[in-house]
Amino acid sequence: MIKLNPENKVIFENSTGNRLSNLEQELKRSPANPFTLDNVISQPYLNSLGLQVFRWLSFDQKMEEMRKKVLLLNSCYHNDLVNNGFIKIENVFDKHRLREIQRTITSLPEILLTRKSCENLGINLDISSDERLQNIFKLCQGDDSYMENSLYLRKISHCTPGEYSEDVRQYNFHVDKFYPNFKVWFYPFSVKESSGPLAFFRGSHKNTLAKMKWVHERSVNNLDWSRLHYHIDDYKEAAENLELEEEIVCKAPSNTMFIVDTRMFHRRTPAAINMLRLSFRAILRRNDLF
């Protein structure tokens, strides 16, 4: 069992209205594992005591403890992760490598590039020898042995937002996991706002008092805490209630990479139907920190 630090204990008790010691006592008697990676634990009584808030705070605290052992501790990259929830890297590769990557993509059959679907295109980008990227991934994971060998090329063909499939729900702000969870986007070509890029609320990965109150209330009422809103244009009031910071739309020139903690409220921004967007992607391994 992890012991929450004084700052997290205050957030826990102020957001749940319960004493942390009460939850700790109940967890000692319960077979429930608070450190499972499952997003939902169906334990109404434990949830009423603040179980979900405890989990969010525990995993975040554990990750920062793990990061004390990695090379980039206290670097600008670490600062960006902790304070902003993302890292932006410009000029990722040299010009020769970038041109090679672009030629590989443009040599694909036209039907693959223009087909109206969201799909992986069968091209992998080897990054195993890129020391800078590997050290950043180690920082993200709090694991000095971590390695991400490649990125995969994914095509997005924009469609009508709604609730009729998992893919179209991506247009509404949501979080993926309650624990530190990182995804990578690398742009081989420039991505404009009209291309419908990723967007997120800067710093919304932070376990603020407002956010933890929201998590607790939704867990007690058995509501989905992963969704900020359910209609494409009704998110502003919900964002204000959670005291979220500025919305960042990830438009950028070619050779730019975003590494994003998807605990942040993020979404695919709307674009013209069938508008195409290409990026190399990776989802860093989801590890059990405990």
What is the domain extent for residue 202? Answer: 73-283
HSE toward the beta carbon, residue 245, CA cutoff 13 A:
14
In terms of Cα–Cα distance, which of 180, 159, 156 is closest to 259?
A: 180
Q: Hey, what's the torsion of the CAs at 4, 39, 15, 61, to 10 degrees?
A: 30
Residue showing tokens 């059959």: 109
**Where would I find the beta strands (DSSP E) of 166-251?**
182-187, 198-201, 247-249
**266 occurs within a structural domain:** yes
Band of residue 128 on the pLDDT scale cut at 50, 70, 90: very high
**47 occurs within a structural domain:** no
| Overall number of domains in the chain | 1
* Alpha-carbon gap, residue 28 to 23, rounded angstroms: 9
Q: What is the pLDDT of residues 34-74, one digit of tens each?
A: 999 999 888 999 999 999 999 999 999 999 999 999 999 99
* Alpha-carbon gap, residue 272 to 160, rounded angstroms: 9
* Alpha-carbon gap, residue 21 to 108, rounded angstroms: 59
**257 occurs within a structural domain:** yes
Q: What is the pLDDT of residue 165?
A: 81
**289 occurs within a structural domain:** no
Average pLDDT over residues 196-201: 98
* Alpha-carbon gap, residue 148 to 246, rounded angstroms: 30
- Identify the H or E element spanning 240: helix 236-241
CB atoms within 10 A of CB 197: 22
CB atoms within 10 A of CB 79: 12
**Where would I find the beta strands (DSSP E) of 94-171?**
119-126, 150-157
**250 occurs within a structural domain:** yes
Q: What is the pLDDT of residue 283?
A: 98
* Alpha-carbon gap, residue 135 to 145, rounded angstroms: 10
Contact 173, 234 (CB under 8 A): no
**258 occurs within a structural domain:** yes
Contact 27, 34 (CB under 8 A): yes
What CATH number does residue 241 fall under?
2.60.120
- Greatest Cα pair distance, the chain, in angstroms, is 62
Average pLDDT over residues 9-30: 97
- What mean pLDDT, rounded, does the chain reach? 95
Q: What is the pLDDT of residues 216-256, one digit of tens each?
A: 999 999 999 899 998 998 999 999 999 999 999 999 999 99
Amino acid code (one letter) for 278: L
